[in-house]
Amino acid sequence: MQSESVMAALSVLTVNMLLSLFFPAAVSADLADCGTTKPLLHITAPGRMEALSGSCLQIPCTYDSTDTSYDSNKPIYGVWRKGFWNKNTIFHSDGSVKIYPLNITGDLKKKNCTTLFLDLNTTYSDKYFFRIESKKFKASACADSVQITVKDSAWSPSINISGDVKDLKEKESVSISCSAWTPCPLSPPELTWSLQQDSQRQTETNPDGTFTSKIQENMTLSDTHDGSNITCSVRYPVDGGKRNKTAETNLTLSVSYAPKDTSASISPSGLVSAGSWVELSCSSRAKPPVRTFTWFRNCTGGPVNVSEGHVYNFSVTEGGKFYCVAVNNLGNQTSSVISLKVKNKNLIWMGILA
């Protein structure tokens, strides 16, 4: 039943929309960079990526060539250029150029140009272009640049709740997760939060080949969660673990619930003279607030609705048992019972029954 309601909750709020930045819908071929050159090579890689200075960045990459002179049996080299597609080579996999500490970890013969930048700093922020060089075939993916932005501070994690975060209700089973962009899968960030520390942790691969670290917990909401804060903190190790970069995100939960702690009180209490006015009042805690309070009198034929509103004023002349019911759109709750007993002709005792 728990998983059913989680599955049924299709709409999801991403508290922090930052991560959407890392998952562009598609790599847009930007022919403008090519000028008059027709691109003979295409790569599939994220068009924009963010990295953290002092940490690494893995660029998922595959390439594709339609040129007939391409021969995967010949030695194939991969080249990365910075800023422009036709100059500023920063890496050549034949070993001749290694200006930046990076490595093509993908198997170029399998058209895998996955690349690992081992240690970035903010001066690396730029557009990067991939190029293939073999004996006959040399081509640059001039239309498919990878824009790398190197930041000095950590990204705030995203807290994600299954279901409509603006309309959470008690008894609802939700799955709460906190996720963080993971540019460097070799030293992923550590997530901690104010919920259970033994939550399920994992690193997920996104459809575009990038990674997201995540902690997740399922819980059944109750009125005690209303107004509570979830704090999720992330810690990225940088400079080979010598330092940490941290960030955090808070989310205050708003959970609606049926009336709780409904109680009836009397004024005055104890002995009162017959014919005097007494006041019964009903109180309750509910979200949204109680829509109606209804007073019932317990009669032999069953309860009778005697008044509406949180206060019931009447002139007491006889005994009886009264209680109130608090109602909001999520349910109702019945109060304790107030008992009026005739002591003698002129005195009536008023008290609350357990």
Q: Which is nearer to ligand NAG, 34 or 340 (CB)?
A: 340
Minimum CB–partner distance for residue 35 and ligand NAG (Å): 28
By CB under 6 A, what part of segment 124-163 binds ligand NAG? 158, 160
Please say whether the dihedral angle defined by the alpha carbons of residues 158, 161, 166 and 168, taken in this order, is positive or negative.
negative
Residue 112 DSSP code: B
Q: Is 317 in the site for ligand NAG (CB under 6 A)?
A: no
Minimum CB–partner distance for residue 106 and ligand NAG (Å): 4
Spatial contact of 63 and 43, defined as CB atoms under 8 Å apart: yes
DSSP symbols for 25-76: SSPPP-GGGGTTPPP-EEEES-SEEEEETTS-EEE--EEEE--TT--TTS--
Please give the order of strands across the beta sheet that includes 243-252.
190-193, 229-238, 243-252
Q: Is 216 in the site for ligand NAG (CB under 6 A)?
A: yes
Q: Is 325 in the site for ligand NAG (CB under 6 A)?
A: yes
Q: Which is nearer to ligand NAG, 111 or 131 (CB)?
A: 111
- Contact with ligand NAG (CB under 6 A): which of 138, 169, 235, 260? 235
- Give the distance, in angstroms, between the CA of residue 22 and the centroid of all CA atoms in the same chain: 16
- Contact with ligand NAG (CB under 6 A): which of 147, 187, 265, 298? 298
Q: Which is nearer to ligand NAG, 166 or 242 (CB)?
A: 242
Burial string for 272-306 (b: 16+ CB within 10 Å, else e) reads: beeeeebebbbbbbbbeebeebbbbbeeeeebeeb
Candidates 68-76, 126-134, 138-146, 228-236 — which segment interacts with ligand NAG by CB under 6 A? 228-236
The 92-131 contact track toward ligand NAG, x by CB under 6 A, reads: ---------x-x-xx-----x-x---x--x-x--------
Q: Which is nearer to ligand NAG, 103 or 283 (CB)?
A: 103
Q: Which is nearer to ligand NAG, 105 or 269 (CB)?
A: 105
Query: Residue 85 region, left (φ>0) first, then alpha (ψ -120 to 50), else beta?
Result: alpha
Please say whether the dihedral angle defined by the alpha carbons of residues 287, 11, 176 and 25, taken in this order, is positive or negative.
negative
- Cis peptide leading into residue 157 (ω within 30°): no
Spatial contact of 54 and 243, defined as CB atoms under 8 Å apart: yes
- Give the distance, in angstroms, between the CA of residue 115 and the centroid of all CA atoms in the same chain: 29
Q: Can you tell me the distance from the alpha carbon of 170 to that of 285, in angstroms, rounded to the nearest whole number?
A: 14
- Contact with ligand NAG (CB under 6 A): which of 75, 83, 227, 351? 227
Query: What six digits make up the tokens of 275?
Result: 């014919």
Residue with tokens 């962009």: 181
Candidates 12-20, 24-32, 71-79, 83-91 — which segment interacts with ligand NAG by CB under 6 A? 12-20
Q: Is 262 in the site for ligand NAG (CB under 6 A)?
A: no
Minimum CB–partner distance for residue 31 and ligand NAG (Å): 25
The 30-59 contact track toward ligand NAG, x by CB under 6 A, reads: ------------------------------
Q: Is 220 in the site for ligand NAG (CB under 6 A)?
A: no
Q: How many helices (H) and strands (E) does the chain have?
A: 1, 31
Binding footprint of ligand NAG on the chain (CB under 6 A):
3, 6, 12, 14, 19, 62, 101, 103, 105-106, 112, 114, 118, 121, 123, 158, 160, 175, 179, 200, 216-218, 227-229, 231, 235, 242-244, 248, 250, 252, 277, 279, 294, 298, 302, 305, 308, 311, 313, 321, 325, 327, 331-332, 337
